[in-house]
Amino acid sequence: MNKADNMTKYSLRSWVLVLALAPTILVGILLGSYFTINRFYELEETLIEQGGNIIEPLAIAAEIGLEKQDFETTKKLITAAQLNKSSLVQFIAIFDTENRVIVTSHHYKDHELMRYDQPLSSLMRTELEQVGDSLILRSPIFSSDHELKLTNFDDRDSQQLSAAKLGYIAILVNKENSLLEQHRAAVAAFIIVLIGVQLNLLFTFRLVKNVTQPITEMVRVVAKIREGKLDTRVDGNLIGELDLLKRGINAMASSLSEYHDEMQQNIDQATSDLRETLEQIEIQNVELDLAKKRALEASRIKSEFLANMSHELRTPLNGVIGFAKQLLKTPLHTSQQDYINTIEKSATNLLEIINDILDFSKLEAGKLVLENLPFALRELVGDTVTILSNSAREKDIELVIDIDQSIPEALCGDPMRIGQILTNLIGNAIKFTDSGSVHLSLKLTDGTKDKVNIRCEITDTGIGIAPQQQEILFQAFGQADSSISRRFGGTGLGLIITKRLVNRMGGQIGCNSKANEGSTFWFTLPLETSQYPVGHFLTPEKLLNRSILLVEPRELSNKALLKQFQHWGMKTTNIGSMGQLAECSLSGSKKYDYAVVSCKALNPDEDSTEQLKSIKELSQFVLYLVCTNEQDTHAIFDTVDKILLAPVNEKVLAETLIDPKPDTSSPHQLEEHTQVEPIARENLNVLAVDDNPANLKLIDTLLKELVSQVTVIDNGQGAVNIAQERSFDLIFMDIQMPGTDGISATKQIRQHSLNRNTPIIAVTAHAIAEEREMIQQSGMDGYLPKPIDEAALKSVINRWKTRPKFTHFDPFTLNWELCLTQANQKPDLALDMLKMLVASLPETTDQIKQALEEFNQESMLASVHKLHGACCYCGVPTTQKLCQEIESSLKRGSAVADVEPEILELLDELTKVESAANQVISQLSTDVIDDNQTRLL
């Protein structure tokens, strides 16, 4: 665009002058320069040729005088030559082989310039040297005895030529005449170019007059035609092509007038076609919208299919697993118990397969939502390993937990999914290991104040995996060997689910393995640190400088326990066998505060009781670790103070050592006692609703063992009717029922009945996230999945039996169930977070008000961001939503005044939250404390 503008700055006259003169001047200068320079070179070559024609005959003629040393004759010769060509030759000198001057044509003050400054042997032909405005030519003088030819001496031997050389002759040639001729040539060229330019200028002005003026007139006519004056024409008699151009412009003006009407018609036609095209596009958009709706409908149908499949499969499994557990409580002989255990394990395995398929389907559909909750890492790992440790003890496998002490305990993430990852990987390691060990190691690879990056490695000594088989490990339904599914079982979904969960959390996963040498599965997870304390570890400072005797022959377990004791600052004596214990007892009468003894350390050929007594004599408190399910603890129970199952949870180990209380009964005695001891039933009136007879019978049976009065109904409308007539302490409601389903029944009970504030727990086999969200939004208070687990049912009853009636505030202002969910179902932690929020509200409110008065965007953003972070863990949906809206608007650059209505609404909501939270805290503080004490007992 700028180039075109620059071109239009100059008139046509200027362009014609420039384009006509510039080439002529340029060509004239180039031609003049070319011929001048060529003339220079010709004069230079002529001068050199003249000098050569003089010096070479003189070199031949001087040979006789030099051989006979007749210098006088030679001088006459060169003097005559110099005088004959005095206008060209200034001075002639002859030098001998020693580079000395022999003869000169006359006296010359700078005769030293004539001397050859290179070795004389290199002068084999006539050479030229430029000295100022003069030329010096030098030619060798050879003896005639050798019949030398100056033009063909290159073919002879150089040594012979050097021997035949008598000297050389030098001539100083004057270049003044040549330079004068060069200057004359340059002046002549300049005059010729100047005359040519003047002639070109004359013709150029004539051309400008006859061409540019008509063209200027044509430009004026074209401008009028462009303005729409199509009757304008170019007049006058013009020459050559300009006359043709004039006729063309006039014809163009006539044609434009004709085309104008035709163009208007085309525009109208194009407009009509465009309307039709837009209509077609609109039809296509409608079709695309319908296709999108069909895709969404297909996704909805898939979700419904998953929900229905989950319900249809879990419903019969609920009866199978539940009644199998109930049957185990009845008197049975050994074979019957074995059969029932097999039924229960098979049904549980089938349930795990169903859960894997559903998890994989949710991951495929992108429906799996990860939570971000605070959790205690070591407690989570300990609970996960405890569930799997029984399988390791059955196979007599060493299962070891090794957690880097630099990893913080309180982290934020999805504890359930992290536990699922650990369960899959550790479970696989145990399943594919027949002997040896399974080592779980957690290390801190990178960490800041707010974030940490953890690397977890699970190493086993199992069957291993060949390199070519590792490529399909993390593929759906893939296993390293197709025969493995027959030997070990499984769907092949565990690793692909684990991989996708790790990737969704922002981590990576991989495997290092060799066939028959074991495997190492590793994954990394970036996690945030929790700003709230999670977990209640007892202070290990009480163990500082305490002495402890560790008797553990297994290397991995020994290192893990030793590192833990050293971290607590304990003085550890580490031995690996009872033989070393004898040496330790002989070395002195030292008494240890504690002794930790592994069952693997005892000599099987000797009496276990006597071996433990010898350890008891050396320590005040003996902790015995059971490493296998075949270990009989009845015989050794009286010789030790505490019996724990290996691997020992770090928290359990710390509590045991800090408060060393001897066991009153062995683990086996406790197990047998719990099987026959009758359970004290709660004085509660419970309503159970389910349309499946088997499930209704099962929940009736389970509830009658836990509560005093149970009422069962097999349909939703019957539940609504009885809820209007009788008051209940707790209601268990199935979701999917014919007629009035569980959600509709709940809404009717909440609207008009005697149980408007009664806790209603959803009992359903649905497992997808959408169903759970719908259940929470329907007015139900809790969720109990099928198959019903007796421990989970008891936990629900204990949680809701003393539930306070929160009727004085909106559940969207404060939702206690959401508090529990965000605190990983830990009432004490949820209560602590709520207390912290209430304590921070006055200061936060003042900061927001001050920022609002000053319209300080930076201060407002900082205050709202801090409040938003606290709301994420305290179950205040409305406050959290308002904080998110305000924070997002401020980050987009909105002013404080633009979000003033939302800020004022937030301040009002904080007042409601403070009032509701104080009510909840006052009603629940005592209950949480009592519940904690009960669980510690």
Q: What is the CA radius of gyration of the chain?
A: 54
Nearest to 440 by CA among 411, 419, 467: 419
Neighbouring residues of 424: CB distance < 8 A, sequence distance ≥ 6: 494, 495, 497, 498
C-alpha 201/C-alpha 205 separation (Å) is 6
Backbone angles phi, psi at 731, to 5 degrees: -125, 125
Do 750 and 756 contact (CB within 8 A), yes or no? Answer: yes
Per-residue exposure over 780-797, b if at least 16 CB sit within 10 Å of its own CB, e if not? bbbbbbbbbbeeebeebb
Report the amino acid identity of residue 438: V
What's the pLDDT score for residue 456? 94
What's the pLDDT score for residue 153? 45
How large is the greatest C-alpha to C-alpha distance in the chain, in angstroms? 161
3-state secondary structure of 103: strand
Kindly report the length of the chain. 937
The overall pTM is greater than 0.75: no
3-state secondary structure of 569: coil
What crossing angle do the helices spanning 12-68 and 71-84 adopt, rounded to 10°? 160
For 18, the enclosing helix (H) or strand (E) is helix 12-68
C-alpha 891/C-alpha 329 separation (Å) is 62
What's the pLDDT score for residue 155? 46
What's the pLDDT score for residue 367? 65
Per-residue exposure over 512-527, b if at least 16 CB sit within 10 Å of its own CB, e if not? ebeeeebbbbbbbbeb
Nearest to 791 by CA among 428, 521, 387, 511: 387
C-alpha 204/C-alpha 207 separation (Å) is 5
Q: Which residues pair with 686 in a beta bridge?
A: 710, 730
C-alpha 111/C-alpha 906 separation (Å) is 110
In the numeric block, the tokens 């940490």 are attached to: 452
Do 59 and 148 contact (CB within 8 A), yes or no? Answer: no
Do 554 and 435 contact (CB within 8 A), yes or no? Answer: no
Neighbouring residues of 655: CB distance < 8 A, sequence distance ≥ 6: 538
**What SS3 string covers 837-854?**
HHHHHHHHHHHHHHHHHH
Tokens representing residue 536 in the block: 């209640």
Average pLDDT, 10 consecutive residues per value, the chain (937 residues)? 54 71 80 81 81 82 79 82 78 82 77 78 80 80 59 50 74 79 81 82 74 77 79 76 79 80 83 88 89 80 65 69 74 73 73 70 68 84 85 86 88 87 89 88 87 92 79 60 46 77 89 85 90 66 86 87 88 81 61 86 78 83 82 72 85 84 55 46 87 82 87 89 89 85 85 82 66 67 77 80 59 76 72 84 89 88 86 83 88 86 88 83 57 35
How many CB atoms are closer than 10 A to CB 884? 14
Helices (H), 440-522: 484-487, 494-504
Tokens representing residue 769 in the block: 């996230």
Residue 512: DSSP 8-state: E
What's the pLDDT score for residue 551? 87
Nearest to 793 by CA among 861, 858, 698, 677: 698
What's the pLDDT score for residue 443? 92
Neighbouring residues of 202: CB distance < 8 A, sequence distance ≥ 6: none
Nearest to 732 by CA among 695, 762, 767: 762
What crossing angle do the helices spanning 377-394 and 650-658 adopt, rounded to 10°? 100
> Please, what is the Cα angle at 774 between 772 and 779, to 5 degrees?
105
Residue 98: DSSP 8-state: T
CA 62 to chain centre: 94
What's the pLDDT score for residue 377? 87
**Residues 610-626: tens digit of each pLDDT:** 888 888 888 889 888 88
Backbone angles phi, psi at 838, to 5 degrees: -60, -40
3-state secondary structure of 205: helix
What's the pLDDT score for residue 668? 43
C-alpha 742/C-alpha 252 separation (Å) is 85
Helices (H), 445-534: 484-487, 494-504
What's the pLDDT score for residue 9? 62
Tell me the pairing of strands 594-598 and 622-626.
parallel
Tokens representing residue 79 in the block: 């003097």
In the numeric block, the tokens 């045991």 are attached to: 656
Q: Is the peptide bond before 647 cis (omega within 30 degrees of 0)?
A: yes
- CA atoms within 13 A of residue 258's CA, in its CB half-sphere: 6
What's the pLDDT score for residue 253? 80
Nearest to 217 by CA among 196, 232, 197: 232
Neighbouring residues of 623: CB distance < 8 A, sequence distance ≥ 6: 594, 595, 596, 597, 640, 641, 642, 644, 656, 657
Q: Which residues pair with 764 in a beta bridge?
A: 785
**Residues 902-922: tens digit of each pLDDT:** 888 888 888 888 888 887 777
Do 761 and 783 contact (CB within 8 A), yes or no? Answer: yes
Tell me the pairing of strands 571-575 and 622-626.
unpaired
> Please, what is the Cα angle at 192 between 187 and 195, to 5 degrees?
125
3-state secondary structure of 553: coil
C-alpha 134/C-alpha 89 separation (Å) is 10
